[in-house]
Structure 1
Amino acid sequence: MTDTATHELVITRLFDAPRELVYRAFTDPDQVAAWFGPVGWSVPRDSVDMDVKVGGHQRFTMVNDDDATMNSPVSGTFTEVVENELLVGEETADNIPGLPAGTKFSLRLEFHDEGGKTRLVLRQGPYTAEVEGMAREGWTSSFTKLDALLAA
């Protein structure tokens, strides 16, 4: 019996940086390349192409640091954009273990001011329970790299 894609990943995370800086880390191609991807994976800057507006796109490729033949392209379209507050988009999964190629899922990022810090609320899915767990682990690992970037 296979698990159906009914699970939504929800992560709430407090970053020790102003909301504008955290938002920029998700929307500036140089910064996305500097932190995105779990530890052991990187995003080559030349793979990042972003047009952050409603109907715009976000495309890049995560590459395994030890084996460049292992990669995961990301391709999304922005459906809602409120500068420094909200990013909503739809993505198509390719090369994601546990998901058939072409699977569509949504990503919602809310940026809340918490007295000079930023509370990020991330919602992504739907996923199977297994893929939701892998996505949670990947985001959590990526956020350690984002913490370091924001502290610099």
Structure 2
Amino acid sequence: MSMVSRVENDRVLILERIFDAPRDLLFNMFKEPEHLKNWWGPKGWDVPVCHIDFRPEGIWHYCMKCVDQSQGEFFGMESWVKVVYKEIIEPEKICYTDYFSDAEGNLNDELPSTEVTLEFVDLGGKTKLINRAEYVSAESLQTVLDMGMLEGIGETWDRLAELVQTKK
């Protein structure tokens, strides 16, 4: 099942996909570091660092590293991200702010932050995941689209879909 995307108000990106997995299982994939390490990030990227404090005002600080030599100039590149959780309603919703950062957790002000709401909709054995990402401006949204974010999330969700099949 493929991802559907649309833009609202020039600065809100909405992504949806139905996963063949019960809602509790899919929610747990976003909660536990040992799960996240196995699927987070596009193909060819690993998560060598993943510290997560899964609660409102808790922090998720992680590093994605390209380990695929065929990705050329990206090989060996690290991308650090710091997430601050705002609201968590298990197993229905996760709201957080997503910032680019460095290895120490200092925020990178040059790249746009994102207000993210993840909704997990129970479809009786399957789950619709709705990812709503709000940016400060249309330009900020365009910046991340130009960075290849749609392709990256598509590959990331493919990896998630594969992983939940092994956990059912």
The two structures have a TM-score, normalised by structure 1, of 0.85
1:26-72 per-residue CA deviation (whole Å, 9 max, x = no partner) reads: 1100010000001121112xx1111111111111101011322x111
* 2: CA distance, partners of 1:10 / 1:136: 11
Correspondence list, 1:94-133, <5 A: 94=101, 101=110, 103-126=112-135, 127-132=140-145
Instruction: State the 1:132 CA deviation.
Output: 2.9
Choose which of 9, 21, 24 in structure 2 pairs with 1:20: 24
1:68-107 per-residue CA deviation (whole Å, 9 max, x = no partner) reads: 2x11111011000001111000121248xxx953532211
Task: Percent identity, please.
Answer: 29
* 2: CA distance, partners of 1:147 / 1:101: 32
- 1:140 aligns to 2:154 (yes or no): yes
1:114-150 per-residue CA deviation (whole Å, 9 max, x = no partner) reads: 0110000001131332423622211111011101110
* 2: CA distance, partners of 1:54 / 1:120: 20
Aligned to 2:58: 56
Answer 1 or 2: higher relative contact order, Cα 8 Å, separation at least 6: 1
* CA RMSD after TM alignment: 1.8
* 2: CA distance, partners of 1:129 / 1:84: 31
* 1: CA distance, partners of 2:101 / 2:60: 14
* 2: CA distance, partners of 1:90 / 1:26: 15
Aligned to 2:100: 93
CA contact under 8 A between 1:36 and 1:142: conserved in structure 2?
Answer: yes
* 1: CA distance, partners of 2:160 / 2:111: 28
Q: Secondary structure at the match of 1:37?
A: coil
Runs of 4+ in 1 over 4 A off after TM superposition: none
Unpaired runs of 5+ residues, structure 2, are: 1-9, 70-74, 103-107
Q: Secondary structure at the match of 1:58?
A: strand
* 1: CA distance, partners of 2:145 / 2:18: 21
Q: Secondary structure at the match of 1:149?
A: helix
